[in-house]
């Protein structure tokens, strides 16, 4: 998006943030900062650092910097106040590996991102019983996420725009990501 519509002003409201499994299943965290800048990549880099992370280790920031869309090297950015790290608050990163056990659920995950994973997490933890009527012939609930899905059972619940190319083979829920309640709404409308 930044390569086609580059913002003139970036405002990151970090008064209250979210740590862990974002963007829907994390824990609320008070940080008490608002970061404003005239380059969104550099602004994001500063906010990332204030959360306790190294911007060079965040793939999208590194790629944007390599494409010349913004500076993430702090020595090349004018940051005010200079002692901005006084407001650093350590945020928990998302889990590097997600594993949860739902024996009667089959998940096809090929090329998803953390946002659809988060929706899936919320859907199964909060609403799994409401999905029971959508079990397939093997008595299991089949759910697909990600852009590289190919081999899925007919009737699979397909979450997110990335699953669009196989949508004729399942129940497609658009969104990027759709939130768990939208997934349920789409099922009820059917
Ligand atoms: S639909 Fe959006 S949120 Fe879901 S996997 Fe694709 S890019 Fe990520």
- Which residue ranges make up each domain of the chain? 10-87, 105-189
pLDDT of res. 125: 87
pLDDT of res. 123: 92
pLDDT of res. 63: 95
Is beta strand 10-19 parallel, antiparallel or unpaired with respect to 27-37?
A: antiparallel
- Looking from the CA of residue 147, the nearest atom of ligand 1 is 6
Reading the block at residue 10, the tokens are 């970036």
Q: Is the CB of 112 under 6 A from ligand 1?
A: yes
Write down the pTM of the prediction: 0.71
pLDDT of res. 187: 85
pLDDT of res. 3: 84
CA of 83 to the centre of ligand 1 (A): 37
CA of 160 to the centre of ligand 1 (A): 6
103-132 burial, b at 16+ Cβ within 10 Å, e below that, comes to eebbbbebebebbbbbbbbbbbeeeeeebe
Q: Is the CB of 118 under 6 A from ligand 1?
A: no
Distances (CA, A) of 135 to 59, 62, 102, 106, 164: 37, 42, 13, 10, 21
CA of 41 to the centre of ligand 1 (A): 21
pLDDT digits 0-9 by tens, 67-92: 999 999 999 999 999 999 999 999 99
Which parts of the chain sit beneath pLDDT 50?
Answer: none
pLDDT of res. 79: 97
CA of 78 to the centre of ligand 1 (A): 34
pLDDT of res. 64: 95
Distances (CA, A) of 72 to 53, 93, 186: 12, 19, 41
């Amino acid at each position: 998006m930044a390569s086609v519509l580059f913002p003139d002003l970036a405002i990151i409201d970090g008064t209250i943030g979210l740590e862990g499994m974002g963007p829907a299943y994390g824990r609320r965290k008070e940080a008490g900062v608002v970061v404003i800048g005239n380059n969104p990549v550099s602004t994001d880099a500063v906010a990332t650092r204030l959360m306790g992370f190294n911007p060079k280790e965040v793939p999208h920031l590194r790629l944007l910097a390599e494409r010349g869309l913004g500076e993430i090297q702090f020595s090349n950015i004018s940051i005010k106040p200079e002692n901005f790290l006084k407001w650093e608050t350590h945020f928990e990163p998302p889990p590097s590996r997600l594993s949860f056990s739902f024996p009667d659920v089959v998940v096809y995950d090929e090329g998803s991102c953390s946002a659809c994973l988060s929706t899936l997490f919320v859907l199964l933890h909060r609403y799994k019983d409401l999905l029971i009527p959508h079990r397939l012939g093997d008595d299991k609930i089949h759910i697909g996420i990600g852009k590289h899905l190919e081999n899925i059972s007919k009737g699979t619940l397909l979450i997110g725009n990335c699953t669009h190319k196989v949508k004729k083979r399942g129940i497609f829920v658009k969104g990027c990501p759709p939130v768990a309640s939208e997934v349920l709404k789409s099922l009820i409308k059917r």
